[in-house]
Amino acid sequence: MTSTPDPVSGNSLDPENWDEFRDFAHGVLDDAMDYLANVRERPVWQPVPETVREALRAPMPRHGSGAAAAYAEYRRLIEPYPLGNIHPRFWGWVIGTGTPLGVLAEMLTATLNTNAAGHQQGATFVELQVVEWLRDLMGFPEGASGILANGGSIANQIALAVARNTMAPFDVRSHGLTGGPRLMVYASAETHNSVPRAVELLGMGSESFAAIPVEGDLTIDVAALRERIAVDRRLGHHPMCVVANAGTVNTGAVDPIDALADLCEEEGLWLHVDGAFGALAVLDPASRDLLKGMERADSLAFDLHKWMYLPYEVACTLIRDGKKHTATFEHHADYLAEIGGGIATGPVMFADYSPQLSRSFRALKVWLNIQAYGIDRFADAIARNVRQAAFLATLVGQEQSLELLAPVPLNIVNFRYRASNMEDGALNILNARILAALQERGIAVPSSTELNGKFALRVAITNHRSRREDFEALVEAVIALGREFSEVEQGG
């Protein structure tokens, strides 16, 4: 007797044999732990070979090869060619390291696979708890609200949306921006481009972003800011917001937030703080004073995937007045209404706090990591990174052939190799070659920036794995490469 298959049932995407899949999964986890435990033995980075790129341009398979074969391809094509940021000698851009517990947290997140949109479920209460922890950590009052976002760029944008809707002299939600005065946002010329991008995306236009000159230490020139606000008022514009930097991306400069908070009070402006990484310096007793005034801000955005070392993606926006927060995002929908019982009994829908509806449960990795390590372990690592930056600056200062290019207020060091009798133009080319070689030889990964026309090797330390010898190795390598390349130049 043969049975015809039931077209209403059929194979799910679950394994046919759970025991086999379990063994396979254990093997994957073992490999992952080896990969992390042995990271120091591998090059920081290596280029992706053409054969690999080619293999990753294959047509979409109609029939699968099975989990084990797909995983083998991951091991061959993807795992050997990482960005490098889990390595102890990666200090490029501002990129966090991740934690081994974070790996498990991401696995558990996918296991629950919840939509953390809100409603009554454990995930909702975890996120509320995490936001409350972060609110207290940053010195924001009860009544402040917050939301986890996917990164600092979006966290800034969420805050600026609330600022815009609160501060516009007309109802942005119903009328839009048409016809109103130009709404002005001010920040230093060293501000991360996510801020002007947010201003554009919020429909205010790039001319609504005013880049204010900086002082010698690369913090905002408050007098120039005051002047620009007065000029804009005379022109009929509507000044609405100052964005203070708690750690600029180039050098880690921290604007005088307290003074900016005073100015905003006097002028009736919204104070937003972009603390993408620098806000976490509140955890370092030696750095905390730099951030004075941050707790007075109307809003604050910061990443947890940078200087809290948590896996991508997770950031946070805090809004001092929670009512203003929901007034920007709240929207009624019949299909989301409470029904007096069941899942939809609240206590919250996170769509009232950001543009996202369906969301990953990113609060879990935050909660698990803080539960497991305790916040003091993170504080130790952050304080150590600040000391490491000072240590590297000292090493640079001791070398005749190296030159520090900017102050080091936090965790970012900018320097360059300096050969006698070479002009800035030639030094820029030489240092770019040094940087490329550091990366291509898998030695270390700084990134670069330009400061006063000088190409800088830029070391941003948001890495809990780095040790003293890693910075010593960097300095040694830069000097050796500088000699190698300038000798070639002089010889040829």
Ligand X SMILES: *Cc1c(COP(=O)(O)O)cnc(C)c1O
What distance in Å separates the CA atoms of residue 430 and residue 416, rounded to the nearest whole number?
Answer: 9
Interface pattern 181-200 for ligand X (x via CB under 6 A)? -----------x-x------
Paired with 450 in beta bridges are 455
Tell me which of 90, 140, 277, 485 binds ligand X, using CB under 6 A.
277
| Contacting ligand X within 213-272 (CB under 6 A) | 247, 249
Tell me which of 106, 190, 274, 298 binds ligand X, using CB under 6 A.
274
Query: Is residue 101 within 8 Å of 370, Cβ to Cβ?
Result: no
| Residue (of 327, 277, 318) closest to 298 by Cα position | 318
| Contacting ligand X within 56-95 (CB under 6 A) | 94
DSSP states of 6-18: -TTS---SS-S-H
Does the footprint of ligand X cover residue 280 (CB under 6 A)? no
Q: What is the dihedral of CA 240, 291, 319, 154, to 10 degrees?
A: 80
Compute the least distance from the CB of residue 90 to ligand X, in Å.
15
Q: Which two tokens stand for residue 292?
A: 């004075």
Does the footprint of ligand X cover residue 276 (CB under 6 A)? yes
Of 92 and 151, which has the nearer Cβ to ligand X? 151
Compute the least distance from the CB of residue 191 to ligand X, in Å.
8
Compute the least distance from the CB of residue 430 to ligand X, in Å.
27
Query: Is residue 427 within 8 Å of 454, Cβ to Cβ?
Result: yes
Does the footprint of ligand X cover residue 315 (CB under 6 A)? yes
Residues belonging to the chain: 492
CB nearest ligand X: which residue? 152
Size of the site for ligand X (CB under 6 A): 13
Of 146 and 152, which has the nearer Cβ to ligand X? 152
Of 242 and 349, which has the nearer Cβ to ligand X? 242
| Residue (of 283, 262, 261) closest to 271 by Cα position | 261
Of 164 and 272, which has the nearer Cβ to ligand X? 272
Of 23 and 217, which has the nearer Cβ to ligand X? 217
- Show the beta-strand stretches assigned E in 41-130: 90-91
Tell me which of 84, 118, 146, 152 binds ligand X, using CB under 6 A.
152
Three-state SS for 262-331 is: HHHHHHCCEEEEECCCHHHHHHCCCCHHHHCCHHHCCEEEEECCCCCCCCCCCEEEEECCHHHHHHHHCC
| Contacting ligand X within 94-123 (CB under 6 A) | 94
Residues that bind ligand X (CB under 6 A): 94, 151-153, 192, 194, 247, 249, 274, 276-277, 303, 315
